[in-house]
Structure 1
Amino acid sequence: MTHRFPIKEIALQAGLSTATVDRALNARAHVSAQTRRRIADALAELEAQESQLDARGRRLFVDVVIEAPERFTRMIRAVTAHVLPTLGPAVLRPRYSMRDVMDEAETLAILDRIARRGSRGVLVKLRDSSPIRDALAGLGARGIPVVAIFTDIAAPARLAFAGPENARAGDTAAWLVARMLHGTGAVLVSQCQPSFLGEEARRRAFLNGLAR
């Protein structure tokens, strides 16, 4: 891997030791494919945040853990890169863990790494399951605040929710569809994953709204 960043910066961004990063960059043995991918992701993130690297102020690393399609995560990266330079006096450095599909085992492994290396905060868009809630609560117990974005996680696993009022969105959609039907008709409801609380809240509110 070619790079122009100090190994220490790459290690901080990837959440790995400098020795591991050095082995990977110099194509030495005993570096897993997953670790190489994390370093490649870290290099891409550093390129996007390059204006932040020389900024003065206290550096605060925050983690962003999201299961969503690439078109969605690409927009998150773009908006974050636009907003970060306007924040101060601290310098926020996001570390991304974003996948199209992230099963429970992979999610728990990511959250465990964050717990072990530490973070100033974690933003999550994840499925709501008992093991994931427990892992998020564990982060909170370590003093790492967790904020759910776009789709909620049942409290008290997270400190706060920042996102749309999903139930109201579903109810509004039902109101609009009911007026478009002009009577009876078939309605198809598409849902990606019922364990995303936001999607389930929209679905329930939509069906309840149509039934009224």
Structure 2
Amino acid sequence: MSFYKEIAIHPTATIYLWKIEEEFIALFRQVSLKDTSLARLESMKSESHQKGFLAVRMLLQHLGYTDFDLFYDAFGKPHLKDGKHISISHSNDFSAVLISDALMGIDLEILKDKIVTIAPRFMDVNHLENLNQLDKIKKATVVWGIKESIFKIKNEKGISFPKHIFEEAFRLTDKRGLAQLKFNDLTEEYCFQFEFVDNYALVCAFQN
């Protein structure tokens, strides 16, 4: 077992983390998969993605669910048969699942130097001013996670991170903040929360 941590981020929402320390075959032997999931697993070219996929199923089993309780809609968004909301993320050695009563999105990203280089493609880089290099990496990664989490909630074709999702100014010590989605002549307000786990940024968002 490599269940790592649970984080209660809201009275009706909890994040569960699995640290992937097992070999692929050890994970595969411990989960029951429906045919569509098995086909999806076999189509993955990266063993890292395969292990992340299986680790999500391990988390479901840890919570009393199985792969048979999980299904995806036409847009690829995951759902649970009992009506609870679920959001899923995987990055390198961790998989994360968010279970909630309300619609939420989660994103987990490993901290990498490259994020600062590509930051102008997805965010207002003024938000990185006056920060040291490590804090620039952390903040840019959080901003990516904010936008990814909101996208997972809205899940509509055509949404652009730089053109449609805007985070209000925040500090890393805040651990929370506000963002807006401006799309199809509508403006929606979102709250976000974040924290750092090992060398990863963990972000969740929900509609305000």
Q: TM-score, normalised by structure 1?
A: 0.32
Larger Rg: 1
- Greater fraction of residues in strand: 2
Q: TM-score, normalised by structure 2?
A: 0.33
- Greater fraction of residues in helix: 1
